[in-house]
């Protein structure tokens, strides 16, 4: 009986690992029972013996990833100070990622398509993970923290850990330790050289954005942007878009030739919005840090007030050809952020940081604000200081923003 149980668990584990790799490559909706079975040279019915539906298999993959994060958070929670807790969490996380890359630990899913599972048990577990991390970030020996501040900061920290799963793929596992040190430096101390009053320069970004050719196409663009941000590329199907707007498929195709053209336009407009903010910031008489603050503050604030919202950039479920085009669209923006960080090192407004990791964390901050602005899962609503609470840790670090 014990041998049978071990054999069952081993096969179940093989299925989970195969499904995890497919989700990380093709997204949640791209993971099919038949593909999982093919990877393992099994019949689909054999996989169904362990997981009756694709949804149950996907849920098991996400639950295992959440359990991994919960173990990391729990291991840090007992330490006495915020600095020690965060430092331990960073080191434990990067060590775990290194062990996964070296085949010594089980792979875990990227959370990009989590919302597509709906608000069931997995989503509840994810919120519990968020709350556990939030407790870890509560400042030392201080009154009850402002709910907007601690929620916004927790979201920023969590998203940067989740996004690090992606950008770490560009590093050799032997360099994960160095990456951990530089990642921790930005989390704890930010990218700015000193503390400043939070007063980002306003930018005329909204006035520079070109509207869609017709009002109806604009409506479709906004609906597709929201659905992609919520449920990923595959969640923005024609069926979901027309249901969102309560129109017919015929009405959709009267204004839109192809769904992918619409989605690619959403990506292009988000990239253009960031570029326009960067160009406007270049006209400021200010140092490089102030320009960076102006860019991200104006973009994030626009996201919170709901005007021509940016798109949450998703990659794992996007077709390869579109993915390459999106990467090309976004590359000038990424290069500009790298240049601004380098300029900040030269003019003294940015402290000594790894500019590539700082740029990845800056990009993550912009991307993650889209999910923060959706807000329906947060333990409490955001306030009018949400963008400040969310962004200041990037520039000044959690150690200096934990009790503002």
Domain annotation covers residue 61? no
Q: What is the pLDDT of residues 210-229, one digit of tens each?
A: 555 667 777 777 777 777 77
Angstrom distance (rounded) from CA 253 to CA 98: 47
Domain-located, residue 278: yes
Q: In sequence order, which ranges of 117-258 are alpha helices (DSSP H)?
A: 121-137, 147-167, 176-189, 205-208, 215-231, 238-245, 249-255
Whether 334 is in a domain gets the answer: yes
Please check whether residue 242 lies inside any domain of the structure.
yes
Q: Structural domain tally of the chain?
A: 2
- Tokens encoding 197: 């009053």
Last residue of one domain, picked from the residues 12, 29, 52: 52
Rounded to the nearest 5 degrees, what angle is found at the Cα of 152, between the Cα atoms of 147 and 155? Answer: 125
CA atoms within a 13 Å half-sphere pointing along the CA-CB vector of 331: 7
pLDDT digits (tens, 9 = 90+) for 63-105: 999 999 999 999 999 999 999 999 999 999 999 999 999 999 9
Tell me whether residue 296 is in a domain. yes
121 in a structural domain? no
CATH number at 33 reads 1.10.10.60
Res 356 pLDDT > 50: yes
Percentage of the residues of the chain whose pLDDT score is greater than 90: 53
The answer on pLDDT for 259 being more than 60 is: yes
Cβ atoms of 68 and 108 within 8 Å: the answer is yes
> Which of residues 52, 73, 92 is at a domain's end?
52
Supply the CATH number for residue 288's domain.
Answer: 1.10.357.10
Does 258 have pLDDT greater than 80? no
pLDDT of residue 214: 62
Separation between Cα atoms, residue 29 and residue 309, nearest integer Å: 25
Best CA proximity match to 100, nearest among 155, 190, 45, 20: 20
- Structural domain contains residue 32: yes
Sign of torsion over alpha carbons 393, 394, 400, 404: negative
At 319 the pLDDT is: 76
The answer to the question of residue 132 being in a domain is no
Domain of 312 in residue numbering reads as 205-352
| Region of residue 197 (left: phi > 0; alpha: psi -120 to 50; beta: else) | beta
Residue 274 · residue 281 · CB < 8 Å: no
Q: Is the pLDDT of residue 380 over 60?
A: no
Contact 233, 314 (CB under 8 A): yes
């Amino acid at each position: 009986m014990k041998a049978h149980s071990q054999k069952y668990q081993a096969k179940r584990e093989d299925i989970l690992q195969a499904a995890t790799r497919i989700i990380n490559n093709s997204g949640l909706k791209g993971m099919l029972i038949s593909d999982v079975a093919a990877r393992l040279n099994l019949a689909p019915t054999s996989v169904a013996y362990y997981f009756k539906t694709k949804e149950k298999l996907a849920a098991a993959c996400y639950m295992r990833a959440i359990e991994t994060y919960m173990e990391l958070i729990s291991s840090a929670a007992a330490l006495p100070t915020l600095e020690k807790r965060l430092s331990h969490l960073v080191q434990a996380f990067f060590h775990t990622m290194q062990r996964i890359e070296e085949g010594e630990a089980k792979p875990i899913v990227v959370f990009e398509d989590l919302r597509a599972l709906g608000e069931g048990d997995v989503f509840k577990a994810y919120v519990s993970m968020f709350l556990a991390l939030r407790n870890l970030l509560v400042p030392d020996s201080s009154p009850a923290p402002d709910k907007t501040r601690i929620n916004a900061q927790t979201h920023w920290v969590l998203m940067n850990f989740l996004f690090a799963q992606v950008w770490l793929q560009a590093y050799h596992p032997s360099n994960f330790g160095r990456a951990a040190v530089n990642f921790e430096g930005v989390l704890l101390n930010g990218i700015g050289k000193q503390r400043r009053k939070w007063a980002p320069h306003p930018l005329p970004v909204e006035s520079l954005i070109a509207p869609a050719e017709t009002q109806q196409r604009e409506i479709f663009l906004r609906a597709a942007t929201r659905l992609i941000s919520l449920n990923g590329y595959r969640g923005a199907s024609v069926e979901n878009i027309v249901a969102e707007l309560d129109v017919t498929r015929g009405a959709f195709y009267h204004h839109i030739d192809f769904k992918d053209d619409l989605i690619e336009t959403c990506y292009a407009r988000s990239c253009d919005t960031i570029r326009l903010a960067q160009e406007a910031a270049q006209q400021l008489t200010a140092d490089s840090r102030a320009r960076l603050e102006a860019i991200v503050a104006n973009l994030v604030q626009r996201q919170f007030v709901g005007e021509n919202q940016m798109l949450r950039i998703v990659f794992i479920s996007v077709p390869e050809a579109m993915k390459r085009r999106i990467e090309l669209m976004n590359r000038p923006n990424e290069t500009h952020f790298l240049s601004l960080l380098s300029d900040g090192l030269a003019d003294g407004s940015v402290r000594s940081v790894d500019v590539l990791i700082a740029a990845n964390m800056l990009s993550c901050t912009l991307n993650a604000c889209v999910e923060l602005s959706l807000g329906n899962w947060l333990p409490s609503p955001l306030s009018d200081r949400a963008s400040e609470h969310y962004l200041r840790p990037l520039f000044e670090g959690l150690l200096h923003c934990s009790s503002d």
